[in-house]
Structure 1
Amino acid sequence: MKRPVFFLLFFFISISTFAQYRIKGKVTDAETGDPIPFAAVYAPGARVGMNTDFEGGYELNLKTWTDSIRVSYLGYVTQTKAIQELPEQTINFQLRPSDFELEAFVFEAGENPAFEIIRQAVARRKDFDKRSLEAYETKNYTKIEIDIDHLSEEFRQRKTVQKVTSVLDSIRQLTNDEGEKILPVFFSETLSHFYFRNNPLLKKEIVEKSKVTGVGITDGSTTSQITGSAFQEYNFYKNWLTILEKDFVSPIADGWKTFYDYDLMDSVLVGQDSCYQLQVYPRREQDLAFSGTIWIKKEDYSLKQVDLTIPKTANLNFIERIKIQQELEPTIMGPLIPAKTRVQIKIGQVTPNTAGLLAKFYTATDSVFITDPKPTSFFNNSVELKPDFGDATEEFWAENRIDQLSSEELAVLQMVDTLKKIPVIRFYSEGLKFFATGFLPVGKIDLGPWTEFGNYNNVEGLRGGFGLRTNYKFSNKWAFQGYLAYGFKDQRFKYSVSGKNILDRKRWTTIELSSSKEIDQVGLEMESLEGNSVFLAASRFGTLRRPFISTNQQLKFQREFFKGFLFQAGIKLSQFDPLYDFYYLEKGTGDYKSDFQTTELRASLRYGRDEIILINDNERASFGPSKWPIFELKFARGIQWLNGEVDYRKLDFYIYQRVNMGLFGVSRYELDAGKVFGEVPYPILKNHLGNGTAFYTTAAFNTMNFNEFASDQFISLRYRHFFEGFLLNRIPLMRKLKWRAVANANILFGSVSDKNITNAPTFDPQGNPIETFGRLDPTKPYLELGYGIENIFKFFRVDFFHRMTYLDSPDANGFAVKVSAQIIL
């Protein structure tokens, strides 16, 4: 009897084994093709379900057959598909986003149970914040894809677009029938090592290998510095996350209850961890806050994973969606490191007849090392490229990618390579770069800047010019630049030429020699306005105020001794030849003179503790500070040899900082103080920059006239605040228009010593009155207050300024309206 029983038992076990059904597949976003992690996959008839992994994959093993399988996820339309009675099959889902509104949960008594979970998670933030580690290193893989989407029929019918119709048509074969047509224009992959050190807080990324292909990308050295993981870091254990220069509050920030509501949705198993699944959404829909789902481990209240979206209702321009998905893993010391992060930024059409943009960022961490801190000198450069960063075969990438490319991504690579070779695409991409940078690359030289090609003013009349510079292809050690211009009215040539030798690229060290002859204006010198090209161009068009011919020869040396600390020194020989009625009394003789020469010895120190610096080919480019202020100290000594005629000393101190004010917006301030020691002609004094144009600028006092005041000692504060919708969001019409309030306050204390007042005669040698400069009362500040609206029609800003003091000055402008155009998110 044993054998028949054993046989029947074996038969039933075999039947149950072979009767299992294995169903696997992938769940993706129908519009973007991106995986949808954490989606619920459920077979109703078999009562079996699971969540998709970070790559959107799932695998169900059914003991009994059922006729359908269903996939659902918050923010997407639930989809059900039929399944066949087969032992193994693959069923993929493409979910379409839905416009959804969360239903309010009503609790009859007691506190929302989600609040205690969040309270515990916030209380333990320091235990899991990776910034609490003394030092760590990670090996990362990052890929970025940028596509043009929203390809409307009007856009496709344009003549320029029709020239690439064959390429666009082939895209249909590369996407799923349920997906949207896209035009990929950029794709990059990067393998890098990321280094972190605490106390002081320092970060660095060394790009070991990088592959960049894209429309308009001619050299990957600069692009490769910003395609690594350093710029894709999202830490939800910080109170605020900066995305696209906007600050978004974390769901587990200290002030969580001010910004968020929460619903406890479920208790789920994520991998081996039992987690609370919570839905989060902003209390005020216009706030820069997230909406979505977070998973918090029951064991220690640490974040396990997040799937968060910035809602369409947030006060942002052009952005249709910002979505962040992240998986976190603990280190051996406890704090969490993101194992995988996926970010999607969807930019809508500026106008109905244009196209949109879709950017996808993915970072995976292969390994984490808890190490001893590296010396601070190691962190001199925020991003460093290995010498052979661009030399890698396809076989190397196939072996070293943490995640292999999907068939769709391989098709994207092929498409980008095809597109960038099409002549019309190359023409428009180069044209856009020329407009944005001012230079047009032609082999080893760049033509430009285009702002020097033409101008018109009362001194030069019609002005024409031409310039060029060498680029990285010419040399990574030497850089030459120059331009030549001619005024048809004054019949003078103007020029500028310079040569720079880069001695050390790691500790940015250069020596530069330059010579120039140009028309400048007192208080509007080109050297002080190099970073404000729009205002400089506007001020040099039309009527020039107190113009002079400025002839300069300069030798300059600079070196970054450690991260953020830049030293500069040099010597500058200048000649001032006025083109207006100007005289000063020569020291010692009392004779009238109208021109003078100076020889300055210069030195300066600049320190930005967390300023992000990139080496842009042969230039050092700043991305600004993250949190800490930037300090600058400058000293100049005018000497009476090497043709110098004036003996003086100048000392200047400058601070700039961006301050996040949380719910109230963002502030920026600039503190500037200086003193001139010695008796000097007034063009050497601090001629405070006024703004006589109709355009708003942060560099000037906007109700002050040009050349209205000068000082030999001063201190000023320029303060700007951006409410980011805080005030106007409470007005229904303003909320719909997404207008944003701004505020300004500019204050200046200054004075001039008696000897410099005497040095500037008010009459020429013939007794005719001449203009000099206005003086400030040392006990009375110059004060102007402003308010305005930005984001008008998404591009324009209008500011209203009230001059509060010195209203009795000649030609005082008590009220001014300034306009400006800007592209902001």
Structure 2
Amino acid sequence: MTYRFQIFKKKQATCENAVNLREFSNISDANRSMIRSFLIGFLLLFSFSSYGQYSIKGKVTDAETGDPIAFANVILTGTTVGITTDFDGSFFIESKVIADSIKVSYLGYVTQSKALSKESTQTINFQLRPTAFELGTFVFEAGENPAFEIIRRASAKRKVFDKRELIAYETKNYTKIELDVDNLSESFMRRKSVQSVTSVLDSIRQLTNDEGEKILPVFFSETVSKFYYRNNPELRKEIIEKTKVTGVGITDGSTTSQITGSVFQEYNFYKNWLRILEKDFISPIADGWKTYYDYDLLDSVLVGQDTCYKLQVYPRREQDLAFTGTIWIKKDDYALKQVDLTIPKAANLNFVERIKIQQELAPTVEGPLLPSKTRVLIKIGQISESTAGLLAKFYTATDSAIINQPKPTAFFNQAVELKPDFSQYPADFWTSTRPELLSEEELAVLQMVDTLKKIPIVRFYSEGLKFFATGYLPIRKVDFGPWTEFGNYNNVEGFRFGFGLRSNYKFSNKWLLEGYGAYGLVDQRWKYKAAVTRILDRKRWTTLQVRTSRELDQVGLEMENLEGNSVFLAASRFGTLRRPFVSTNQRLTFQREFFKGFLLTSGLNVAQFDPLYNFYYREKDTQELRSNFQTTELRAGIRYGRDEVIIINDNVRASLGSNKWPIVELNYAQGIQSLGGQISYTKLNFYLYQRLTMGIFGVGRYELDAGKVWGEVPYPVLKNHLGNETLFYTTAAFNTMNFNEFASDQFISLRYRQSFEGFLLNSIPLIKKLKWRMVGSANVLMGSVRDENIQNVPAFDPFGNSLTSFGRLDPTKPYLELGYGVENVFRFFRVDFFHRMSYLDNPGAKPFHVKVSAQIIL
């Protein structure tokens, strides 16, 4: 392809031969009459021509999604009269030139033409169908691509225009979200549950015309918010002022409203990597742009008042997590003006057929750019032919920017805040607030969602899905669950059945009552938990909790750390329990968030250890053998996540992870011989977790865990390192270590996992079609046990039976395991190969392990 660089200048008509009125008055009457007749004839001709002018308006949308296609080329066939669609896909053409048809084209879509009538005013809408993007279409000749210098200069100015360079900014945002079920296959439509809503599905035709695809809308929201950003330290906050949420299965909008604002819809192309759906995508103007992208300089065009270079971008390897599409870069300062980019279906993603981002940017008074409009479309494909797909649409409009007036750090304590009257507004509020009116399709979506959520069968399935995902079924002021407590089976309890409930936000926003009861048919023991939590302050999260429980536990598993993961907790109680014991606890806990990300926890815990396996330890003072013991601990801990995003889910906090900085925890426990305690000791534990974006090498994650126990204690009080003798891979354990193989009273461990995404495998011709991804891991542990904690475990119980003991780490010899593998096998499976590098002489140790796991990842 030969590079062409064309600049089209806007022509301005001038009137250089205007009639001089003074000269006109000096000519003869005959000539004057002739000229007057000429002018009158000219005016009549001009009037006739004006009358013959006609106008065409319309909208260009995606046939599969109904989403507007911005910046598409619209031209009258056989003429040079044309225009591009605006951000909302609309166009308006006025012309005196007569044409038979009008044509619309855009990169990544099939070009479409429609016939024109003879009417002076016409409305012509287009629905374009996406077409596959073929990398082989573009071939470059020798010599540097002229687009490279433009990209080079735009990349060099990233810091100049990056909004993160501002000291602070705040904006008023309007956000609109729509979720639709699409790809409604015939097999899906034939289901009994679907046929019961056939009459509703038939009315979907009003959302599309004969050229479009049928969709079933299930969620629609509108949100007006204030967004605040502060640099150094980098903090964000969104205050939801007003929100309207309607959706299938949505019974309480308070939690949903916290994630429908713009804080989760931020797309900054001046960052090297954009995180979308927990995947990192390389920006077209990133530092390493030449490694990932090729470019084609298409034109120089006028966008608003700015002359811009129009460039086509596309990935060098179609499997890379990179964009294809068009970007516009201003000619005078090389700032981004607007983008229209897509992640193609060939990218190494699961289930995601398309991600499309359109964005317009506007300069601030200080120079950096803020997005004025952003539209995002995410299309999730069918998992199987008998299922449907999902379509998510996001739109954000930003205005009223205030620059460099930073709020105090304390203002950002809560990442997302709801105003007390966020769901109350006058009838005409949204009509007067929206940047633009809802389209006919969106009004139909609202009507459809309101209709669907009232249908009993739809409510049944939506509530059932939510029950499975959250574990709880809300019924008025009480939530029943979790369902994982309803039934289980293991070698100690036999069949176990139970029942639980908790109060919800409708009951009170200051009190949380929760509990469950369970019974085992074999051991004939009742297990239970009952807790009362008083929420003292929701803004600076402050709670006081009293709790009592009696439950089965296993040495080394520490089930209290698994309470946030009900599925894994249930799985740990299934099958064969190793070194089980009955744990009885009474606990008092106080929590307070003193400033953004800094949470302090303190309390008192009284616990009783009653083993269900052959266990004895030698009591320190009397040297008697005891099989059970009681501890009383004074506890204190701090947790700090500098940029961790926290939302309030009813009456509990939920973490959505951190963006850049690590999450740090430090916990202290002091065992005292009072209030029933029989052992004196001190425990200190440090934990650090961070997710690392590593560019071409994918994403890394590490966990650093270190601890120490002072005092002579039974080994269940020590750190019993979690092993994994099963066939299944888990990130929570050492995957080549046996159960209860090692215990330590001082230790440090580093666990590292690397997801290489498409690194290397995307370049192998046959393998890249499979979309496999390499993974790797390295786990290392150093630890030791003092002699007194070894000696307090006797070799035999009082009856002469051999006792179960524990392994001892050599403080000079690390435990090391290395792993590698492939994920995304048949889209659902992962296979890991682990090599145990040390302690190979231990009983039962195996040098090589194969682990498998099932996962749903994008």
For the criterion TM > 0.5, the same-fold answer is yes
Letter of the 1:771 counterpart: T
Work out the CA distance in 2 between the residues paired with 1:548 and 1:91. 74
1:685 to 693, 714, 718: 718
Deviations 1:716-738 (A, max 9, x none): 01111111121322333332221
**Pairing of 1:608-627 with structure 2 (within 5 A):** 608-627=641-660
Cross-structure match for 2:20: none
Q: Deviation at 1:525?
A: 2.4
Q: Deviation at 1:402?
A: 1.2
Secondary structure of the equivalent of 1:230?
A: coil
Cross-structure match for 1:360: 393
Deviations 1:683-711 (A, max 9, x none): 11001111122221111111111111000
User: Is it true that 1:565 corresponds to 2:632 in the alignment?
Assistant: no
Which range is displaced more, 45-54 or 544-553? 45-54
Letter of the 1:552 counterpart: N
Deviations 1:724-761 (A, max 9, x none): 12132233333222121111111100000111111222
Cross-structure match for 2:60: 27
Work out the CA distance in 1 between the residues paired with 2:771 and 2:308. 38
* 8 Å contact from structure 2 (residues 472, 481) kept in 1: yes
Work out the CA distance in 1 between the residues paired with 2:842 and 2:132. 59
Letter of the 1:154 counterpart: S
Cross-structure match for 1:300: 333
* 8 Å contact from structure 2 (residues 540, 592) kept in 1: yes
Letter of the 1:345 counterpart: I
Cross-structure match for 1:757: 790
Cross-structure match for 2:588: 555
Q: Deviation at 1:765?
A: 2.6
RMSD: 1.3
User: Is it true that 1:735 corresponds to 2:768 in the alignment?
Assistant: yes
Work out the CA distance in 1 between the residues paired with 2:567 and 2:66. 41
* 8 Å contact from structure 2 (residues 471, 566) kept in 1: no
Work out the CA distance in 2 between the residues paired with 1:570 and 1:98. 61
Secondary structure of the equivalent of 2:200?
A: helix
Cross-structure match for 1:13: 46
Deviations 1:254-303 (A, max 9, x none): 00001100010111111111111101001111110000000001011000
2:151 to 93, 107, 118: 118
* 8 Å contact from structure 2 (residues 491, 575) kept in 1: yes
Cross-structure match for 2:491: 458
* 8 Å contact from structure 2 (residues 317, 762) kept in 1: no
2:112 to 75, 79, 99: 79
Cross-structure match for 2:299: 266
1:38 to 71, 76, 85: 71
TM-score, normalised by the number of residues in structure 1:
0.98
Work out the CA distance in 1 between the residues paired with 2:343 and 2:235. 29
Work out the CA distance in 1 between the residues paired with 2:77 and 2:318. 35
Letter of the 1:336 counterpart: L
1:206 to 215, 225, 239: 239
Q: Deviation at 1:180?
A: 0.6
User: Is it true that 1:129 corresponds to 2:162 in the alignment?
Assistant: yes
Which range is displaced more, 806-815 or 474-483? 806-815
Cross-structure match for 2:830: 797
1:816 to 837, 842, 849: 849
Figure out how many residues of one structure are paired with residues of the other and give that number.
825
Work out the CA distance in 2 between the residues paired with 1:100 and 1:663. 23
Q: Deviation at 1:94?
A: 1.5
**Pairing of 1:337-736 with structure 2 (within 5 A):** 337-736=370-769
Computing the radius of gyration from Cα coordinates, the structure with the larger value is 2
Letter of the 1:702 counterpart: N
Work out the CA distance in 2 between the residues paired with 1:776 and 1:815. 20
Q: Deviation at 1:107?
A: 5.0
Q: Deviation at 1:533?
A: 4.1
* 8 Å contact from structure 1 (residues 28, 56) kept in 2: yes
Misfit runs of 4+, over 6 Å: none
Cross-structure match for 2:354: 321
Which range is displaced more, 24-33 or 626-635? 24-33
Which range is displaced more, 723-732 or 795-804? 723-732
Identify if the C-alpha distance between structure 1 residues 109 and 585 changes in structure 2 by more than 3 Å, giving closer, same or farther. Answer: closer
Cross-structure match for 2:9: none
Work out the CA distance in 1 between the residues paired with 2:103 and 2:612. 81
* 8 Å contact from structure 1 (residues 535, 697) kept in 2: no
Letter of the 1:681 counterpart: P
* 8 Å contact from structure 1 (residues 321, 347) kept in 2: yes
Secondary structure of the equivalent of 2:87?
A: coil
* 8 Å contact from structure 1 (residues 652, 675) kept in 2: yes
Q: Deviation at 1:50?
A: 1.3
Q: Deviation at 1:532?
A: 4.5
Identify if the C-alpha distance between structure 1 residues 710 and 527 changes in structure 2 by more than 3 Å, giving closer, same or farther. Answer: same
Work out the CA distance in 1 between the residues paired with 2:795 and 2:780. 28
Deviations 1:491-542 (A, max 9, x none): 1111111010111111111111100011111111211333454443333222
Letter of the 2:46 counterpart: I
Work out the CA distance in 1 between the residues paired with 2:255 and 2:798. 58
Work out the CA distance in 2 between the residues paired with 1:699 and 1:393. 51
Work out the CA distance in 2 between the residues paired with 1:42 and 1:484. 71
Letter of the 2:676 counterpart: N
Secondary structure of the equivalent of 2:522?
A: coil
Deviations 1:22-77 (A, max 9, x none): 22111111221111110111124442111110011111111222222211111111
Work out the CA distance in 2 between the residues paired with 1:475 and 1:355. 38
* 8 Å contact from structure 1 (residues 638, 647) kept in 2: yes
Work out the CA distance in 1 between the residues paired with 2:138 and 2:574. 62
Q: Deviation at 1:420?
A: 0.6
Letter of the 2:409 counterpart: T
* 8 Å contact from structure 2 (residues 57, 92) kept in 1: yes
Work out the CA distance in 2 between the residues paired with 1:797 and 1:472. 39
**Pairing of 1:149-168 with structure 2 (within 5 A):** 149-168=182-201
* 8 Å contact from structure 1 (residues 46, 63) kept in 2: no
1:171 to 204, 207, 213: 204
* 8 Å contact from structure 2 (residues 647, 655) kept in 1: yes
Letter of the 2:284 counterpart: P
* 8 Å contact from structure 2 (residues 755, 776) kept in 1: yes
Cross-structure match for 2:225: 192
Identify if the C-alpha distance between structure 1 residues 72 and 102 changes in structure 2 by more than 3 Å, giving closer, same or farther. Answer: farther
